[in-house]
Amino acid sequence: MAKRFTKPSINWLEIEKRCPPNQINNYKAFRAKSAVYLQRVEANPSVMPTIDWEAYKKLLPESDIVEKFKSELEKFKVPYPSDDVTKQIDEQWKTIEKDIEKFCAGQNKHIDAATVELTRIRSLPKFEDMTMEMFFHLYPEQALDPVNKPTYWPHYPEDQPGYVAPEEKAKKATKK
């Protein structure tokens, strides 16, 4: 019988941390099925039990059927595929591991920037408590400035004199 390929080194807690909340039931069902399967595999011996051919010869002394069975069993070999893929997977893993680390570093930068922005947003006063002066102080490029940049009601860019559509700006930029 072939050797066992069981790896009890599955980090279930790490997998559970990464599991989305809407799939936690599927994860728990999978983990239970995996545990049951592993118990079933470990309950069986890793090698076939030996057959006591002498006991069978005593039961059938004049028949040579026991010798035929013994020779046939010795000839019989269960074909087991050779493992050619593990080396390829290891080589692929070595080549993409650097890319994964680079990607994770980039994503961590995005996470850090988003955390800083979230902290800044949480430090702002509530929308209901904010005045127009506070908004102008926090966002001068977006706030209405009637002194320096007067606009007409309803204060949308396309309703202002001298407005140029972005498509036309792009056309003008490509012509130059």
Q: Percent helix, strand and coil across the chain, each rounded to 5?
A: 60, 0, 35
The pLDDT of residue 17: 93
Check pLDDT > 50 for residue 2: no
Phi, psi torsion values for 44, nearest 5 degrees: -90, 150
* CA pair distance 105, 134, nearest whole angstrom: 36
Predicted confidence (pLDDT) per residue in 140-159, tens digit: 888 888 888 888 888 888 88
Q: What is the pLDDT of residue 1?
A: 42
Contact (CB, 8 A) for 144 and 151: yes
Identity of the amino acid at 6: T
> Which amino acid is it at 125?
P
Res 8 pLDDT > 70: no
Q: d(Cα 43, Cα 130) in Å, to the nearest integer?
A: 68
Contact in structure between 28 and 71 (CB atoms under 8 Å)? no
Give the separation between CA 173 and CA 164, rounded to whole angstroms: 12
Region 2-21 average pLDDT:
78
Provide mean pLDDT across the span 71-84: 87
